[in-house]
Structure 1
Amino acid sequence: MATLIAGLILFLGVHSLSIVNEPLRNRLHDSMGEFPFKGLYGLVSLLGLVLIVWGYGAARMDPTVIYTPPGWLRHLSFLLLVPVFPLLFATYLPGKIKAKLGHPMLVAVKLWALAHLLANGMLHDLLLFGSFLAWAVVDRISMKSRTQRPIPTAPTTRANDAIAIIGGLAVYVLMVVWAHQWLFGVAPV
């Protein structure tokens, strides 16, 4: 469990730098330069992600049950997960979805985390998905009081929403019928 927690601290910690101390983040960026800063940011993120995957896998071998969700919550979980990939795509394919939501990736993270919390009641699930849900909520709230940095996206077109929806739903179906089992060893259906 310690490896999972260390991974969460590293991954979400580096992703929280702007939330907790934007001036420090900006000073680091300016003193290091863009590419060294992004390189270090990426390495810390990758290390955190590796520790999360490793720690979560290890925790699954010796699970601690916190609650047992009723079966109907799995169906609700499937429903909540349907828009996740389209929202992720919409983050980088600006259109009406992005304009309406502002930060579709954070909405996707919240839905992903909440859906998994509803369907899983082990301690390691609560740590992983609860941490990501809390981070996404805090990040969204903090965005109201800090400068937004632009992210690279495709040019805005009317087709972007259709591409995001069709592509995202295709990835969702692929994840449900094959990739979730292949990647995580758990068949959703």
Structure 2
Amino acid sequence: MIILIVGLILFLGVHSLSIINDPLRNRLRASLGEGKFKGLYSLVSLAGLVVIVWGYGIARMDPTVIYMPPGWLKHVSLLLLVPVFPLLFATYFPGKIKAKIGHPMLTAVKLWALAHLLANGMLHDLLLFGSFLAWAVADRISMKRRTPRPIPTMPARKMNDVIAIVGGLAVYVIMVLWAHRWLFGVSPV
């Protein structure tokens, strides 16, 4: 479990720099330069992600049951996950969805984490998905007090909503029917 926690600290820690101290993040970016800052940020993020995957895999070998969700929550979870990939697509293909939601990626992370918390009751699941849910909520709240940074996206177009919905739903179907089992060893259906 310690390895999973270290991975979460690395990954979510670097992603929380803006939440905790946005001026420090800006000073680091200015002193290191854009390229070096992004490179270091990416390396720490990647290291954290690798350690999360490693730690989660180890934790799954010796699970600690916290609660046993009823079977019907699996169906609720699958429904909550339907908009996740379209929201992720809408982050980079801005249109009416992004304009309406504001921060579609954070909304996607919150839905993804909540859906997994509803369907899984092991300690390692609570740590992983609970941490991501808490981070996304904290990040969204902190955005009210900090200057928004532009996200590189495609130009805003009406067609982007179609791309987000069709592309996102296609990825959802692939994930549910095949990729989730291939990537994580667990079939959601």
Give the Å deviation of 1:123: 0.1
Alignment of 1:41-52 (within 5 A): 41-52=41-52
- Following TM superposition, where does structure 1 have runs of at least 4 consecutive aligned residues deviating by more than 6 angstroms? none
1:153 is paired with a residue of what secondary structure?
A: coil
Give the Å deviation of 1:110: 0.2
Aligned-pair Cα RMSD in Å: 0.3
Give the Å deviation of 1:36: 0.2
Paired amino acid for 1:85: F
Q: Please, what TM-score do these two structures have when normalized by structure 2? A: 1.00
Q: Please, what TM-score do these two structures have when normalized by structure 1? A: 1.00
User: Matches of 2:184 and 2:91 in 1, distance apart?
Assistant: 25
Q: 2:132 aligned with 1:110, yes or no?
A: no
User: Matches of 1:71 and 1:124 in 2, distance apart?
Assistant: 19
* Aligned twin of 1:100: 100
Give the Å deviation of 1:68: 0.1
* Aligned twin of 1:137: 137
Give the Å deviation of 1:19: 0.5
Give the Å deviation of 1:157: 0.6
User: Matches of 1:151 and 1:163 in 2, distance apart?
Assistant: 18
Q: 2:109 aligned with 1:87, yes or no?
A: no
* Aligned twin of 1:173: 173
Q: Which string of whole-angstrom CA distances, capped at 9 and with x for unpartnered residues, describes residues 128-150 of structure 1? A: 00000000000000000001110
Paired amino acid for 2:89: F
1:149 is paired with a residue of what secondary structure?
A: coil
User: Matches of 2:9 and 2:185 in 1, distance apart?
Assistant: 24
Give the Å deviation of 1:32: 0.3
Paired amino acid for 1:65: V
Paired amino acid for 1:161: D
* Aligned twin of 2:29: 29
User: Matches of 1:59 and 1:108 in 2, distance apart?
Assistant: 25
* Aligned twin of 1:64: 64
Alignment of 1:122-133 (within 5 A): 122-133=122-133
* Aligned twin of 2:121: 121
